[in-house]
Structure 1
Amino acid sequence: MESSFDEKELGLASLKLGLKMDQEGEDPEKTLAFANRALKALDKNDKPSLLVAMALQLMGSANYSLKRFNDSLGYLNRANRVLARLEEEGSCSVDDIRPVLHAVQLELANVKTAVGRREEALVNLTKCLEIKEMTLEKDSKELGAAYRDLAEAHTAVLNFKEALPFCLKALEIHKKQLGHNSVEVAHDRRLLGVVYTGLEEHQKALEQNELSQKVLKNWGLSSELLRAEIDAANMQIALGKFDEAINTLKGVVQRTDKESENRALVFISMAKALCNQEKFADSKRCLEIACGVLDKREMVSPVEVAEAYMEISMQYETMNEFETAISLLKRTLAMLEKLLQEQHSEGSVSARIGWLLLLTGKVAQAIPYLESAAERLKESFGSKHFGVGYIYNNLGAAYLELDRPQSAAQMFAVAKDIMDVSLGPHHADSIEACQNLSKAYGAMGRYG
């Protein structure tokens, strides 16, 4: 009896120490050792308890810090099940369960984001917000931050329509609590600008950007102000105000460091404005300068550089420089393959390479890129995401081109199913997938 009491005490002490170390970001190996000791001491029978859930959450958190993502998911999912049983049985107060449940859901979102499963992470972040809505004052700053976090997560997977209401709620709370000139409000407005750009409401985006810039200027946040000015130039380009955009960028470029990513971004935007004015030689010169800067930043900021290369490749594509675009995308893909959390970007780049190879008649080369893209995007966004549908449509077109109508029909059928679910059967792309399927069946008849 005494030894079992001692063991439970030891487990509790280990749990407290582990949680403290985890909170302070100390050595995750030591945290894991305490978590393990706590779990062994507390998890003695099949009966669920809040302490076991807390130990499991700590195991998940420590494994996440050590980049052992599969182990982390295993412990966190088990913690989730324990908490669900406690709530079901009513053996523990809901007020005690909620903070632990929030920690588990947040950690699940972090792990899934780290392995590129961003669509699934959104489900966990939404649950985190629901818990905060139940436990916090309706206008608290913390709730405002939670709304913005969810808006950012939706924006990262291009769900701009879903991001908008959360971003507006965050802005409303921060204006009320901190005033119009707070940095938080400036950050909300900058994000709102990105969301409106995604929704192609460029004038609204520019208005939010200008309001954000005023605050950033007042606070002397020069680096963030530079990014906001580059965003403004891109919005001006989207509105067809090319000369205004070029003037904005000329003002910005003088304030950037020669080797900085900001300088590269200025030249990418400048190239876009010049390309729209059909000044292709000048546009290419700007892109070459940008690539020269980015080349030296690949090891320092791989994610930002990869995103910039994607943008540059799209501009070469616009100027019908397909070989250069493909070459840059292959370079981008090699960078992204080393970054587990960028699996969704890896899928998008792979899809783009496949599409460009298809466009330039290199059909057999396109197929492995498209197949890889379909797998990556299914893992990131789920099997019924419209982006996956477009890839299967392209795969169908590739097989049809190679006189393999049976394979083409299979791909078009999958594309049609996805489009019907994600876009609705009457959407133009769903109808096109249906027509492609008929074409493949027609070809099968000819070869039959």
Structure 2
Amino acid sequence: MKRATTKLISCSKIATSSTSISGNFTPQFTNSSSSISNSPIHKPCTNHNLKPCSNSNALFYKSYKTHHFHNNPSQNYSTHVGITPDFPFLKKSSNIAEVLTAAKSAEEMLKAFKKMEANLDEGEIGFACMLIGFQLRQEGKDPEKIVSFANRALAVVDKEGENKGCLFVASILELLGSTNYSLRKYNDALGFLNRANNILVKLEDDGKYDSQDIKPVLHAVQMNLADVHGAKGMIEAFMDNLRKSLEIKEVLMGKDSREFGNANRDFAIACVRSKDFKDGLLYCLKALKIHLALLGENSVEVGHDRRVLGRVYNGMEEYKKALEEFQLAQKVYKNCGCSSYLDHAVIDAATLNINLGRYEDAMNTLKGVVQDSENQFYILTSIGAVLIHQEKFADAKRCLENACSVLDKQEKSKPFEVFEVYLTITMLYEAMEEFETSISLLKRALSLLEKLPNEQPPLELDVSARIGWRLLLMGKVTQAIPYLESAAEIGKVTFGSKNFVLGYVYNNLGVAYLELERTQSAAQMFAAAKDIMDASSLGPHHNDSIQACQNLSKAYAAMKSYPLAIEFQQKAVDAWESHGRSEEDELREARQLLQQLKASARGVSTKDYPTKTVPLPYVRADSRDLQAPQPSSESSTKQLSG
């Protein structure tokens, strides 16, 4: 049991990381186990709507609710954007605009449209379908119905060559892009959004429209692109979209506005999540400067800024500065009477003390708020982490059981927060080598995630892959396969068939199939894993790529296809040789396996030839260390927490 404490060096970093700093920011690529995520001040938003409002001859977009502030109306910035006095495909004599924009709901719009449809020409139908589509999205109606109306509008546009590049077309494409994203049709969404982006950039360059008319639509497109790229695990593109949207916000909201300060803080959080602490510091200090000038030291926004700043300094290993910022945040929240936010600032400080080995300080801080906390499950989970560090495992288990009891009552009111804390608790049980309990809670988290309206595929992939991997290590092969197969399917849809994440899932599926003597299927999985890893940023000389290659060799050996087995084992030997002295043990073993294979090919019995293949710890798709994820031959916790 003593080694559990060693494992927790990394685990403690996630013990409380499910508490949030941001106002309302959730990049889709993130996983709760390693990042700043949800809390009472943070709700994921995937809707960057442009809202149609009434005007006799025009479509206007008003009170555009930004990606970050939609839960707080006071934080929405308003633009009143007139997008030309006439729809390009609409007769000037038409009254369709007045009729539809006078409607108070999508239902009223639809009734009016049905009454008039038979007497409308194509241009009027296209315009009506566009308005109805926007209204349906505003009201959160069935996305399939939104796509249907938006496609009808786009069909009208596509027949008109000269107007294909107008602002209305870009707006329809943005609507289609965001709605296809909500349907998890990511490739379709990218197609529509990239087309919209190209149109808008060209319009800005041509000067056909006022820039203030274009930028709200362009902002919506960039934020939706960020959502899609995040969901697909394309971190660089995700960050690029967020950066561009921030530049647009500066123009629309003003560089000294409270909202722009919030936007800078949100971007700083994205930087922290991608481990770009230098930029994170720059943008967080900008946010703090703006909010201090506007609101003074004792404002909630300043408290949020200081929490983010503490996380930045923590990432930069400037722990004294980090602790100072967390303590300042606590002071601000106390002065503002924000007890919920205060809890999270306390957890931040406690987590830092845990990582620094100051367990008594961490425990005293947490005990001071646990009884009166609105977020008791966060506090109890953090206390559990401290107790594990102190090797008080029985107390830790009781504490985590209490946290789970509190979570049971919060599932309906705070489903995403509960999901994240479940993931954290599973890692703490892993650290105590309580694997059955960990798997049980992972299954519970997966069940909860599937019920969420805006389920995030990368999280579903992560949890399914973790369950499958852990079951595999426990020898429960038949139970592991459905979870691994589900993870593989989600991975293909979410990240594409060549993403390196699938290499890990396929390798573990190969291990499972070989255990059940499904040798042909196992060889196919190992071959796919090797091809993906070799072609990815890992490359053929990465430890995990080499292990997949050796697994493939063993699968061919099990099929008695010795020439192929020898070929791939030779590749493994060559790859290990490139590591030099750092991997001498692995090289020695690989050479021994190669000689045994050659003996088997000659008909010499090699009873000691190891046929056991090696499962690989799942590496999350949102990790910034995608270029070189560190393989682990030790415990599951190190991989799962990082």
| Interval containing the TM-score (normalised by the shorter chain) | 0.7 to 0.9
- Residues 414 and 94 of structure 1: is their aligned pair in 2 closer, same or farther, counting only changes over 3 Å? farther
Alignment deviations for residues 211-266 of structure 1 (CA, whole Å, 9 cap, x no partner): 32232223222110111112222222222222221111110112225xxxx11121
- Residues 79 and 313 of structure 1: is their aligned pair in 2 closer, same or farther, counting only changes over 3 Å? same
Which one of the candidate residues 215, 218, 230 is aligned to 2:347? 230
Q: Structure with the greater relative contact order (CA < 8 A, sep ≥ 6): 1 or 2?
A: 2
Distance 2:165 2:97 in 1: 13
Work out whether 1:376 is the aligned partner of 2:490. yes
Q: Secondary structure of the equivalent of 1:296? A: helix
Work out whether 1:4 is the aligned partner of 2:4. no
Distance 1:363 1:110 in 2: 35
Distance 1:128 1:228 in 2: 29
- Residues 439 and 118 of structure 1: is their aligned pair in 2 closer, same or farther, counting only changes over 3 Å? closer
> 1:285: how far off?
0.7
Work out whether 1:175 is the aligned partner of 2:281. no
Larger Rg: 2
Distance 2:201 2:409 in 1: 50
Give the corresponding residue for 2:416: 303
- Residues 432 and 327 of structure 1: is their aligned pair in 2 closer, same or farther, counting only changes over 3 Å? same
Distance 1:201 1:372 in 2: 41
Q: Letter of the 1:370 partner, please give it.
A: L
> 1:286: how far off?
0.6
Give the corresponding residue for 1:367: 481
- Residues 150 and 410 of structure 1: is their aligned pair in 2 closer, same or farther, counting only changes over 3 Å? farther
TM alignment of 1:180-259, pairs within 5 A? 181=297, 182-194=299-311, 205-257=322-374
Distance 1:11 1:131 in 2: 29
> 1:282: how far off?
0.7
- Residues 142 and 16 of structure 1: is their aligned pair in 2 closer, same or farther, counting only changes over 3 Å? farther
More displaced stretch, 42-51 vs 165-174: 42-51
Give the corresponding residue for 2:549: 437
More displaced stretch, 55-64 vs 190-199: 55-64
> 1:301: how far off?
1.4
Q: Letter of the 1:191 partner, please give it.
A: V
> 1:189: how far off?
2.8
Work out whether 1:319 is the aligned partner of 2:432. yes
Distance 2:255 2:533 in 1: 39
**Contact 1:53/1:83 (8 A) holds in 2:** no
Distance 2:281 2:495 in 1: 25
Distance 1:405 1:382 in 2: 26
Which one of the candidate residues 284, 288, 300 is aligned to 2:397? 284
Which one of the candidate residues 436, 447, 458 is aligned to 1:334? 447
Distance 1:387 1:172 in 2: 35
More displaced stretch, 418-427 vs 168-177: 418-427
- Residues 265 and 69 of structure 1: is their aligned pair in 2 closer, same or farther, counting only changes over 3 Å? same
Distance 2:508 2:551 in 1: 14
- Residues 52 and 348 of structure 1: is their aligned pair in 2 closer, same or farther, counting only changes over 3 Å? same
TM-score by length of 2: 0.57
Which one of the candidate residues 169, 173, 186 is aligned to 1:53? 169
Which one of the candidate residues 213, 217, 229 is aligned to 1:100? 217
> 1:315: how far off?
1.6
Work out whether 1:345 is the aligned partner of 2:462. no
Q: Letter of the 1:224 partner, please give it.
A: Y
> 1:297: how far off?
1.3
**Contact 1:117/1:381 (8 A) holds in 2:** yes
Q: Secondary structure of the equivalent of 2:391? A: coil
Q: How many residues align?
A: 430
Distance 1:169 1:241 in 2: 29
Q: Letter of the 1:6 partner, please give it.
A: S
- Residues 129 and 416 of structure 1: is their aligned pair in 2 closer, same or farther, counting only changes over 3 Å? farther
**Contact 2:471/2:477 (8 A) holds in 1:** yes
> 1:396: how far off?
3.8
- Residues 42 and 239 of structure 1: is their aligned pair in 2 closer, same or farther, counting only changes over 3 Å? same
Which one of the candidate residues 244, 260, 264 is aligned to 1:127? 244
Distance 1:202 1:419 in 2: 37
Give the corresponding residue for 2:63: none
Alignment deviations for residues 309-357 of structure 1 (CA, whole Å, 9 cap, x no partner): 1111212222222111111111111111122432221111111111110
Distance 1:5 1:13 in 2: 14
Distance 2:168 2:435 in 1: 57
Q: Letter of the 1:350 partner, please give it.
A: S
Distance 1:431 1:327 in 2: 31
**Contact 1:313/1:324 (8 A) holds in 2:** yes
Q: Letter of the 1:313 partner, please give it.
A: T
**Contact 1:405/1:440 (8 A) holds in 2:** no
- Residues 117 and 355 of structure 1: is their aligned pair in 2 closer, same or farther, counting only changes over 3 Å? same
Alignment deviations for residues 21-56 of structure 1 (CA, whole Å, 9 cap, x no partner): 979x97466xx79x97x9599947231354413652
Identity of counterpart residues, as a percentage?
Answer: 47
Distance 1:285 1:356 in 2: 23
TM alignment of 1:58-137, pairs within 5 A? 59-60=175-176, 73=189, 79-84=196-201, 86=203, 91-92=208-209, 96-109=213-226, 116-117=231-232, 119=234, 122=239, 124-132=241-249
- Residues 174 and 100 of structure 1: is their aligned pair in 2 closer, same or farther, counting only changes over 3 Å? same
| Greater helix fraction, Structure 1 or Structure 2 | 1
> 1:437: how far off?
0.8
**Contact 2:540/2:546 (8 A) holds in 1:** no
Q: Which runs of 5+ in 1 are unaligned?
A: none
- Residues 145 and 388 of structure 1: is their aligned pair in 2 closer, same or farther, counting only changes over 3 Å? farther
Distance 1:377 1:150 in 2: 27
Distance 1:41 1:418 in 2: 39
Q: Secondary structure of the equivalent of 1:227? A: helix
Q: Which runs of 5+ in 2 are unaligned?
A: 1-89, 104-129, 562-642
RMSD: 4.3
Distance 1:419 1:69 in 2: 25
Q: Secondary structure of the equivalent of 2:368? A: helix
